Amino acid sequence: MRSRSVAGRALWLGFSTVLLACNVEPTAHDECHATLAAAPGCPAAALVVMSDFVSTQIGLATLDGDTLCGSWFSTARAEATPVAFALSGDVALPSTRPASGRGVVIDRYGTNVASFLSPATGALLGQLAVGTGFESNPQDYLELDAGRALVSRWGENPVPGHVPFDVGGDLLIIDTLGLAIEDSIALPREDFPPRPAGLTRVGGEAVVTLQRMSLDVRSMGEAMLVGIDLEELAVTWTIKLAGLKNCGALELAPDGAVGAVACTGYVDRSGAAPTLDESGIVVLDLTSTPPSELRRFSAAELTGDPLQSDLEFFASRRVLAKTQTAVDASGNNRLISIDLDAEDPASAAVVLLEARPSATGAGQGVVYGGMLCTPGCGNTCLVADADRSVLQRFAIDGDELSPLGALGMKGTVGLPPRELGGL
């Protein structure tokens, strides 16, 4: 579960509040005007979310980590725009780069807003509230075409039925040009609320990961992948990831033939996983519908620690992954590369980085955050490192990664990097 509760940030957003671009004065600073160009199918730049979980600043960097703009968009800039909902400290980027080229920011628990930003300046173009009268806790955003997108809503409404689209645990269909909610897609419930998280497009379908957690967030069911037909906008298939819980978005290999899903298992408030058996990686054949499981790696044989629920492909069958580390644990957060073709799972993982312990000698918890790899584009991987407040950088050379050294973001207020995405 990639949601964070931020005390004191609860806002009443009303139903389908819309802020249109004509009412918003651009607020980009002169030094943030960057000339962006990209090869077809490649990001033009990297978005870097920096946060202390109270305030947020979004910077812009090249694909190899050089700062283009330290404060492309921020809590302060949003507050300076009279009609804007200011960014909270629980902010995420879409797991799939929006084809429209706009920057999209998902403000989660306590704010429940999607913000749309100009790719040229970072100026606020508009915002859409997706709370519809309750804490919807939006998780991901996936553009379907030039005018529509899906938004996954993790939250559940305990007293629905007062306004349209207020049940929760669903996918909203939104108009990305008029900034309005058009409809919603109900998801399978079975023994647990669906808790939809990551969204990924595979051909003519969207695949959504259901994390399936109880209302009191004290128990979880096995994770599930659900296929959504993009013509009918309806559920067409479901598969359970037997034995695995708390899984992230399906990540696609560069050739699109296979995908992989990482699962953390249930974790408590400190980030500790009571059992390692629920964590691992599933490799899926995407040439069949629904996808079929090719193999899986248990966290026990890869790292001996649970894994975070996100992956990043940097080669055809190589991924970056991270361990899930509890605050004050005996171990430290680690960044690893994994060979999905390895015959021996015990030799598949290679540790690339390990975080420093805290001042008391215990683990700091999760400090390695967002990852962005650009094979065939920049041929680099960037990793948000909140431990050292830098972007860790690697060059992609075939199936290998070579360290390029770390870079800090310039022109910032010192917030550590947490998330990364392509623009």
Cβ atoms of residues 207 and 224 within 8 Å? no
Whether 153 has a pLDDT exceeding 80, the answer reads: yes
Q: In the structure, what pLDDT confidence band is assigned to residue 78 with cuts at 50, 70 and 90? A: low
The rounded percent of the chain whose pLDDT value lies above 90 is 80
Residue 291: per-residue pLDDT: 98
Question: Which CATH number does the domain housing residue 109 bear?
Answer: 2.130.10.10
- Written as one letter, the residue type at 366 is V
Q: What is the pLDDT of residues 232-260, one digit of tens each?
A: 999 999 999 999 999 999 999 999 999 99
Domain total in the chain = 1
Residue 417 token pair: 């990097």
* Residue 198 lies inside a defined structural domain of this protein: yes
Q: Which domain holds residue 69?
A: 18-22+42-422
pLDDT at 8 over 80: no
Q: What is the mean pLDDT of residues 296-309?
A: 96
Query: Which is more confident, 379 or 5?
Result: 379
- The answer as to whether 338 is a domain residue is yes
Does 258 map to a domain?
yes
Furthest C-alpha separation in the chain: 58
Determine the pLDDT at residue 371. Answer: 98
d(CA 190, CA 212): 9
For residue range 79-124, what is the model confidence (pLDDT) as tens digits?
556 556 788 889 999 999 999 999 999 999 889 999 999 988 888 9
**Does 219 fall in a domain?**
yes
Question: Taking residues 325-335, what's their average pLDDT?
Answer: 93
Helix (H, G, I), strand (E, B) or coil at 202: strand
Q: What is this structure's pTM?
A: 0.91
**What is the C-alpha to C-alpha distance for residues 366 and 325, in angstroms, rounded to an integer?**
5
Q: Is the dihedral of CA 354, 356, 362, 363 positive or negative?
A: negative
Specify if 37 maps to a domain. Answer: no
Residue 50 lies in a domain: yes
Question: How far from 229 is each of 143, 170, 257, CA to CA, in Å?
Answer: 14, 15, 19
Average pLDDT of 274-286?
Answer: 96
The kind and range of the H/E element at 301 are helix 299-302
Q: What is the pLDDT of residue 367?
A: 96
**Would you say 56 and 48 are in contact if contact means Cβ atoms under 8 Å apart?**
no
Question: What are the structure tokens assigned to 389, written together?
Answer: 């407040």
Q: How far is CA 62 from the centre of its chain?
A: 20
183-204 pLDDT, tens digit per residue, is 999 999 999 999 999 999 999 9
Instruction: DSSP for 39-53, please give it.
Output: -TTS-SSEEEEEE-S
Of 284, 277, 245, 275, residue with least CA distance to 263: 245
- Whole-angstrom distance, CA of residue 252 vs CA of residue 316: 9
Name every residue whose Cβ is closer than 8 Å to that of residue 243 and which is 6 or more positions away in sequence. Answer: 222, 277, 278
**Of 92, 177, 179, 175, which Cα lies nearest the Cα of 137?**
92
Which residue shows structure tokens 């991924």? Answer: 319
C-alpha to C-alpha distance for 141 and 155, rounded to whole angstroms: 15
* pLDDT over 70 at 221, yes or no: yes
Provide the pLDDT for residue 411: 86
Helix boundaries (H) for 11-145? 75-79
pLDDT of residue 36: 79
Helix (H, G, I), strand (E, B) or coil at 315: strand
CA dihedral (263, 268, 271, 272) positive or negative: negative
Is 149 a residue whose pLDDT tops 50?
yes
> pLDDT digit string (tens) for 359-414?
999 999 999 999 999 999 999 999 999 999 999 999 999 999 999 999 999 988 89
Name the residue type at position 11.
L
Q: How far apart are CA 159 and CA 201, in angstroms?
A: 32
Query: Taking 70 as the threshold, does the pLDDT of residue 15 lie above it?
Result: no
Distance from C-alpha of 186 to C-alpha of 19, rounded to nearest angstrom: 27
- To which residue do tokens 């990305």 refer? 176
> Kind of pairing, strands 292-298 and 138-143?
unpaired
Q: Backbone phi, then psi, for 195, in 5-degree steps?
A: 55, 60
